[in-house]
Amino acid sequence: MTLDQLQTGRTAVIDFVGGQGALRRRLLDMGLTPNTLIKVIKVAPFGDPVELQLRGYELTLRKDEAAKITVTEMHE
Partner 1 sequence: MSKLFALIGNQNCGKTTLFNRLTGSNQHVGNFPGVTVEKKEGAIRKQKDCVVVDLPGIYSLSPYTSEEIVTRDFLIKDKPDAVINIVDATNIERNLYLTLQLMELDIPVIIALNMMDEVRQSGNSIDVLQLEEELTIPIVPISASKNEGVDELIERAVKVAQKHQKPKRLDFCTGEVHKAIHSVMHLIEDKARNIGYTPRFAATKLIDDDEFIIDLLKLDEDEMDTIEHIITQMEKNLKTDRQAALADMRYNYIEKICSKAVEKKNVLKEKARSEKIDRILTSKVLAIPIFLCIMFLIFWLTFGLIGPVLSDLLTLGIDAAVGGLSTLLTDMGVSYWMYSLVIDGICTGVGSVLSFLPTITLLFFFLSMLEDSGYMARVAFVMDKLLRKIGLSGRSFVPMLIGFGCSVPAIMATRTLASERDRKMTIILTPFMSCSAKLPIYSIFTAAFFPKNAAVVMITLYVLGIVVAILAGLLLKKTVFRGNPIPFVMELPAYRLPTFKNTMLHMWDKAKDFIRKAFTVIFIAAIVIWFLQSFNWQFNWVEDSSQSILASIGSYIAPLFAPLGFGDWRASTALITGLTAKETVVSTFAVLFGTNSNLALQGALQSVFSPLSAFAFLCFTLLYMPCVAAFATSRRELGSTSTSLLTAAFQTGVAWVVALIVFQAGTLLGF
The residues of the shown chain that bind partner 1, judged by CB under 8 A, are 17, 21-31, 33-34, 36, 41-42, 44-49, 51, 55-62, 65
Our CB check for partner 1 shows the closer of 33 and 74 to be 33
Distance of CA 54 to the CA centre of its chain: 8
Provide, rounded to whole angstroms, the least separation between the CB of residue 71 and partner 1.
15
- How many C-beta atoms surround the C-beta of residue 19 within 10 A? 16
- Helix or strand (DSSP H, E) at 71: strand 69-73
Provide, rounded to whole angstroms, the least separation between the CB of residue 20 and partner 1.
9
